[in-house]
Amino acid sequence: MILELAAILAGLLLLAWGADRVVEGAGVIARAFNVPPLLIGLTVLGFATSLPEMLVSAAAALSGAPNLAVANALGSNIANIGMVTAIAAIIRPLHIQSQTLRSELPVMLAVSVTPVVLFPDGVLSRMDGLLLLAGLVVFIIWVLRLGLQTRGKDPIEAEYAAEIATGITPGRAALVLLLGLGTLALGSEALVWGSRNLALRLGISDLVIGLTIVAIGTSLPELAVSVVGARKGEHGLALGNVIGSNIFNTLAVIGVAGAIRPAILDPDAVVLHLPIMLGFTLAFFFFAYNAGDTIRIGRGAGWLALIGFIAYLAYLVGTVI
């Protein structure tokens, strides 16, 4: 069991470090091509912070553990709201007047409902995966158009610009990006191997491991970004990070798993954990969506979300004790 735990820890560390390098390299390269900071934040940075989940999903599907991939997506979305947003809001109440993020909120809610529509038969088919990936393409096109419309008028643009590394050449950024991608690949393999073998040793399902250790671990990059954003007063960065990540997780992470290897889903994933994920998303939407362009998550909402997340983890742990 020590070897499995070591592989999980090494995988998480590699994923966190690799994600930082990808964000750094991709941001600099995009800026070198004169991509506006708002578009970089909405697409490049959002995609990069979800890469750990995507590569873990691909590795899990290739190794014959598609339920681990689905659990990673569902659990990461729950953790992004119940842990990442909650802790950031407890540190400092989050509020920003952003037309961009306000437009993304209903999209996040609609995307979160998509698995409910696709999985009533309890099967993640290749067609389901391809439909989700097609949805990802549509979302990227839509968010690019949205970014062009709100460019120069949204306060989150300055926050995204501040996150792009300076003092690094595009050539070096390309090397950093490749190094980050390689590290993410190694980390995902180590995490999936350790998680699957730990589940076998403990006699628990891939689903539970994916919803707990893997989901929380792959959400650490989002936690770091949102906590730092909250402490620096960059509320748009803290909130936009979670909104974008949850959209990418649902469309890309589950989509990749289905496209690689169709699977029969664990019944609990469909009838229990998917509705719980949707419940957290609905709560986030109604807490955050306000009149005008303002998005607000207060300390009270943060504490409620964190308590709900802890209760959910306690339930999961209780199912295996």
267-281 pLDDT, tens digit per residue, is 998 899 999 999 999
Which token pair is 180?
């980050």
Flag whether pLDDT at 47 surpasses 80.
no
What three-state secondary structure class fits 295?
A: strand
For the stretch 208-256, pLDDT in tens is 888 988 888 888 877 887 888 888 887 887 888 889 889 999 999 899 9
For residues 51 and 265, what is the distance between their CA atoms, to the nearest angstrom? Answer: 23
Please give the backbone phi and psi of residue 119, each rounded to the nearest 5 degrees, phi first. Answer: -110, 25
Flag whether pLDDT at 290 surpasses 80.
no
pLDDT at 49: 75
Which token pair is 122?
């309890």
pLDDT at 121: 87
Grade residue 108 by pLDDT with cuts at 50, 70 and 90: very high
Q: 137 — alpha (psi -120 to 50), left (phi > 0) or beta? A: alpha
Name the amino acid, one letter, at 286: F
Grade residue 321 by pLDDT with cuts at 50, 70 and 90: low
Residue 19 vs residue 255, higher pLDDT: 255
What three-state secondary structure class fits 165?
A: coil
Contact 229, 60 (CB under 8 A): no
Tell me which H or E stretch contains 314.
Answer: helix 299-320
How many helices and strands (H and E) does the chain possess?
Answer: 18, 4
pTM confidence score: 0.90
**Closest C-alpha to 274, from 155, 116, 99, 88:** 116
The DSSP line for 124-154 is E-HHHHHHHHHHHHHHHHHHHHHHHHHTTT-
Flag whether pLDDT at 135 surpasses 80.
yes
Would you list the domain boundaries of the chain?
A: 2-320
Tell me which H or E stretch contains 235.
Answer: helix 235-248
For the stretch 159-215, pLDDT in tens is 788 878 888 898 999 999 899 889 988 988 898 888 888 888 888 888 888 898 888
Flag whether pLDDT at 78 surpasses 80.
yes
Region 59-73: mean pLDDT is: 85
Burial label, 2 (beta-carbon count in 10 A; 0-12, 13-18, 19+) = exposed
Contact 180, 15 (CB under 8 A): no
pLDDT at 292: 67
For residues 32 and 26, what is the distance between their CA atoms, to the nearest angstrom? Answer: 10
pLDDT at 206: 83
For residues 257 and 62, what is the distance between their CA atoms, to the nearest angstrom? Answer: 8
Assigned CATH for 2-320:
1.20.1420.30
The DSSP bridge pattern shows strands 263-264 and 123-124 to be: antiparallel
Please give the backbone phi and psi of residue 153, each rounded to the nearest 5 degrees, phi first. Answer: -125, -5
Flag whether pLDDT at 293 surpasses 70.
no
What three-state secondary structure class fits 58?
A: helix
pLDDT at 79: 94
For residues 22 and 49, what is the distance between their CA atoms, to the nearest angstrom? Answer: 8
For residues 17 and 29, what is the distance between their CA atoms, to the nearest angstrom? Answer: 19
Which token pair is 9?
């820890």
